[in-house]
Amino acid sequence: MKDITNILQSYRECVRHLWNANFLALLPTAQDRWNLRDQFDEVGSVLFSALVVDRLGVQAEACSAYMLRLNRRPPSQALPWLRVVPISDHGTPIMINRDATADSG
């Protein structure tokens, strides 16, 4: 199993900076904020493909079915080539949105 933590952290930093430095500033004047969010998701999918999938040599077809979806519904399966392994004896802490109808949290 290959440790791809650095690759995923690099992607995460890239999209975080892109949102904070560019898309966030567009929100106050956006005619349709949801459309802006959808556009950001599309950009994030392309970046994920370029910065993670291609770099790892994963077949694009194996990933295309798992791209971010505009309806924000997750795919029925996780990425088959990606496994999250806890690095602590106590597991990996996560934040769970307890309100199933909320879009954030």
* CA separation, residue 2 to residues 5, 11, 23, 59, 78 (Å): 9, 17, 33, 16, 17
pLDDT at 7: 94
Q: What is the pTM of this model?
A: 0.71
pLDDT at 79: 78
Question: Tens place of pLDDT for every residue, the chain, 105 residues?
Answer: 788 989 999 999 999 999 999 999 999 999 999 889 888 988 888 898 889 988 888 876 555 555 555 566 666 677 777 888 877 777 777 767 667 676 665
What ranges do the domains of the chain cover?
A: 5-64
For 66, the token pair is: 């798992």
